[in-house]
Structure 1
Amino acid sequence: MQTNTRVLFLDFDGVLHPDAVYLSRQGPTLKAEGTLFMWAPILTNLLVDFPMISLVLSTSWVRHLGYKRALAYLPIELQERVIGATWHSSMAKHWVDENLWDGRTRYDQICRYVARSQLRDWMALDDDIQGWAEDSAQRLIACTPELGLSAAHTQVELRRHLEKY
């Protein structure tokens, strides 16, 4: 990957729908009002003016469902922008205990991807704000878990970040 790639790390729960999703035998189930990915059109519309932005999935959905299945839940307009994920199944071969990955902060997971890919231009859209280093906090667009991208202030903040690139 080239270092001039512009990446938005994308979480699902608490961003594209409320953070009230549970895995069941039928697949992911939203235990709140609304539907899964109900706020995805907001992201799609915000990204229209920024065709240079690529997406990297930084969601536990990839770890639990696999990359292809997690990707398939996104609208096609977002799927076409996805270039990878912070988790890859090959990581299980390199970790004695896969829970080591789950036990890391989202920030740690993103930093590992950033370092491997030598990214310079990146930001994260996430409701998990734990463990962010002070010098990287300006790269985080923090969502309220219950409101995600439906919150006007989050949309304004995301647009402001996108315009900096």
Structure 2
Amino acid sequence: MARTQLVFDARAPTLYLDIDGTLHAGSAVIDDTGVITLDSGRELFEFAPVLVELLAPHPSIQIVLTTSWVSHIGCAGVVSYLPDALRYRVVDDTTRVRSRMSEVRDGTDRVSKILRHVSSHGVLSWLVLDDRAWGVPIGYARHFVHLSPESGISSPDARSRIKSWLRECQAL
């Protein structure tokens, strides 16, 4: 059954989603012909079924992509790799949010872009899944699930944190 594409809604629970180290182990490498493989030798999107299963009972959860993949293959390109059950949830990405040079230098650019996206769009309920979310300011840690690049969202701790957030979303 085809689902209707979600449209960005600041009131809807929002999952800020990285790809590498989150939905699979390792980092993507794109060759000259456009073929994407992982430096880990593992399967692309091997942990995506975990996210599909976790989100299945929660059809209103929307996804904003935070992955650097978007700057290489575009949002539509990234979405084309996602399982059908996740594709319709993607409502935006953070590529239009500009990084400050100091943030790029100290490695906090991804976190800063996410926080600016949340603030500028007035997102009320949100969670970040990322293996390299560095420099999270005090008071925002509960919104970030720091993942191991080897296990991504497949680790028991990550799954538990996601489930906990989903329960909070249901209570709203």
Secondary structure in 2 matching 1:120: coil
Q: Which residue of 2 aligns with 1:122?
A: 126
Of the three residues 13, 18, 23, the one matched with 2:25 is 18
Identical amino acids, percent of aligned pairs: 30
Q: 1:99–1:69: structure 2 CA closer, same or farther, 3 Å change rule?
A: farther
* Equivalent residues of 2:26, 2:42 under 8 A apart: no
2:160 aligned residue (146, 156, 159): 156
Equivalents in 2 of 1:102, 1:153: separation in Å?
28
Pick from 86, 90, 93: which aligns with 1:85?
93
Q: CA–CA distance in 2 between the matches of 1:100 and 1:60?
A: 17
How far is the alpha carbon of 1:116 from its aligned partner? 2.1
Shift of 1:146: 0.9
Compare 7-16 and 113-122 and name the one that shifted more: 113-122
Deviation at 1:61, TM superposition (A): 0.4
Q: Give the equivalent residue in structure 2 for 1:64.
A: 72
What residue in structure 2 maps to residue 4 of structure 1? 11
Inter-partner Cα distance in structure 2 for 1:31 and 1:125: 20
CA deviations 1:30-88 (Å, max 9, x no partner) are: 12242110110110000012112101101000012111111111111101111110114
The CA deviation string for residues 126-162 of structure 1, in whole angstroms up to 9 with x for no partner, is 1113111111110011110111022122111111111
Q: 1:28, CA displacement in angstroms? A: 2.4
Partners of 2:146 and 2:57 lie apart in 1 by 21
Residues 41-50 or 16-25, more deviating: 16-25
Find the counterpart in structure 2 of residue 132 from structure 1: 136
CA contact (8 A) 1:101 1:109 kept: no
Greater shift, 127-136 or 26-35, is seen at 26-35
User: How far did residue 99 of structure 1 move?
Assistant: 8.5
Residues 2 and 118 in structure 1, CA contact (< 8 A), matched pair in contact too: no
Name the residue aligned to 1:39: 47
Residue number in structure 1 paired with 2:35: 27
What RMSD in Å do the two structures reach over aligned CA positions?
Answer: 2.1
- With the length of structure 1 as denominator, give the TM-score of the two structures: 0.87
Q: How many residues align?
A: 158
Q: State the distance in 2 between where 1:100 and 1:66 align.
A: 23
What secondary structure is seen at the aligned counterpart in 2 of 1:135?
coil
